[in-house]
Structure 1
Amino acid sequence: MKIISVFLSLIIFLSFCKCQPTKKEKQDVLEAEHIYPYNEVNASIKFYDDSTYTFNIFQKSSYYKKNEKYSGKYLLEKDTIKFIDRGFQFLTCRIAVINNGFVEFIGGSAPLKLKITETSIKDEYAINSLDSSYALFSYHPNYYDFFSEKVKPYSLKKNDVLAINNLLELCISENNNRITHNVNSYTKQCVAVTNANNEIEVIIYCNCKDESKGFHYQITAVKDGCDCHFSVKLNLTKGKYSLLYINGSA
């Protein structure tokens, strides 16, 4: 009888285990990272299908090593990631946007972009044919104060980038005594807005190409270097350029 009792107990136990639903492991829906080549800082973020995320940042110098980890919850609305509860604590901001292969954090204590390495999210606003020499940055008054009037952020479209390239070629052609390189010699960092008249304006920072891909992550500020570095303001609606500034020599 003991053998039968043990056997029945085993059958009941196995049946109970079989009926219990297995816990579903959460899956990644987006991964992005930023490896800073100059000051040994690595940052990465993972968004999961249960509306949670984890963010890791590792900083190293000759004086210290620092590894920070953050986690929280988010909501995805089209191209916008909204950080709920406490927000994105590392930068004290509330939103990020998916913008041409990058996650860009908006309105925090400092600008930050992470390059998307894996994702199941369709970037509906990506410019698929965007030239790799272009880097797009979202306008926010915390970071960029070079627009004198009240403006709104604007997401550049494919035709806008073509118009930018044409205006840059015109600008270089009309100032060829001061700018000796052609448009393809430069990386182009763009911040686009619409002004009070609903005209599309873009500030462009042009810098001679090198092997670094760092220009995709943050606006390059160079004080000299002559015509290897210049900035200009474009009005795409009017097809005009202004505020051309070409760096001087060291």
Structure 2
Amino acid sequence: MKIISVFLSLIIFVLFCKCQLYKKEKQNVLEAEHISPYNEVNTTMKFYGDSTYTFNLFQKSTYYEKNEKYSGKYLLENDTIKFIDRGFQYLRCRVAVINNGFVEFIGGSAPLKLKITERSIKDEYAINSLDSSYAFFTYHPNYYDFFSEKVKPYSLKKNDILAINDLLELCISENNNRITHHVNSYTKQCVAVTNANNEIEVIVYCNCKDNSKGYHFQIISVQDGGDCHFSVKLNLTKRKYSQLYINGSA
């Protein structure tokens, strides 16, 4: 009986260890979400310590509800998430990046950003003390075709943001008969690249602030609206701006 008791104790101990190991592996490394302001589409994603992830998409309209679930494996390398095996099937892409508090999917069938709500890793590439009116989008030719030559994505640094703000102030000052709002009245959506001459270029979409946080998730496209909406191309290396476009009035 003593042998049986010891054997049972050993089995219980092994199962307990396995259970604890499983719990440890399933700890969250990263959680991110995007909730539509109209509650039509809610998206959540979790990355676990055992290199697996889950992705849930809930979509609701007047006539139907749809809940899609995806799962798979990933590798985390610095700020880059690589989806292995079949890739990230929802968007048919293989890469996402961690960028200033967001997970941004690159090269898929459509751009997508999710806001990080929980993480056990540091964002080594975050811009500290950043003005919340700025939003960043990683360049990819599938989504953004406004650069006329071969370019490469560029991650903006804190000093770059200061240069962007200075150039925007200059642009507004030199066009004050057309742009009547202060630079701080706008949200600024930035797509940055380096061109063939290794110069830093940035397209900036400026839109008058409102209560919406949607500008962090996708580039805003607005018809009319006057000088509440304008875009401009900046060359941070040459400290120049060009291709200023201001919306017309309705």
The alignment's TM-score, normalised by the length of structure 2, stands at: 0.95
In 1, the alpha carbon distance for the partners of 2:7 and 2:157 equals: 63
Worse overlay, 21-30 or 237-246:
21-30
Q: Gaps (5+ residues) in structure 2?
A: none
Asked if structure 2 preserves the Cα contact closer than 8 Å seen for 1:81 and 1:96, the reply is yes
Report matched runs for 1:84-233 at 5 Å. 84-233=84-233
- Structure 1 residue 11: Cα displacement: 4.4
Instruction: Please name the residue that 2:5 is paired with.
Output: 10
Asked if structure 2 preserves the Cα contact closer than 8 Å seen for 1:200 and 1:237, the reply is yes
Deviations 1:145-181 (A, max 9, x none): 0011111100000000000000000000000000000
- Structure 1 residue 54: Cα displacement: 0.4
Q: What SS is found at the alignment partner of 2:18?
A: coil
Worse overlay, 94-103 or 18-27:
18-27
- Structure 1 residue 144: Cα displacement: 0.4
- Structure 1 residue 36: Cα displacement: 1.0
Asked if structure 2 preserves the Cα contact closer than 8 Å seen for 1:39 and 1:61, the reply is no
Q: Is residue 2:234 matched to residue 1:234?
A: yes
Q: Cα gap change, 1:77/1:8 in structure 2, threshold over 3 Å: closer, same or farther?
A: closer
Instruction: Please name the residue that 1:22 is paired with.
Output: 18
Instruction: Please name the residue that 1:51 is paired with.
Output: 51
Worse overlay, 12-21 or 200-209:
12-21
In 2, the alpha carbon distance for the partners of 1:59 and 1:132 equals: 28
Identity percentage over the alignment? 80
Q: What SS is found at the alignment partner of 2:137?
A: strand
Deviations 1:9-40 (A, max 9, x none): 33442244235533221110000000011361
Asked if structure 2 preserves the Cα contact closer than 8 Å seen for 1:97 and 1:104, the reply is yes
Report matched runs for 1:75-90 at 5 Å. 75-90=75-90
Q: Is residue 2:64 matched to residue 1:68?
A: no
Instruction: Please name the residue that 2:243 is paired with.
Output: 243
Which structure: larger Rg?
Answer: 1
Deviations 1:81-120 (A, max 9, x none): 0000010000000000000000000000000000000001
Worse overlay, 144-153 or 21-30:
21-30
In 1, the alpha carbon distance for the partners of 2:50 and 2:9 equals: 30
What amino acid does structure 2 have at the position aligned with 1:211?
A: N
Backbone CA RMSD of aligned residues: 1.2
Deviations 1:189-246 (A, max 9, x none): 0000001110000000000000000000000000100000000000000000000000
In 1, the alpha carbon distance for the partners of 2:7 and 2:77 equals: 47
What amino acid does structure 2 have at the position aligned with 1:185?
A: S
The alignment's TM-score, normalised by the length of structure 1, stands at: 0.95
Q: Cα gap change, 1:10/1:105 in structure 2, threshold over 3 Å: closer, same or farther?
A: same
- Structure 1 residue 129: Cα displacement: 1.3
Q: What SS is found at the alignment partner of 1:220?
A: coil
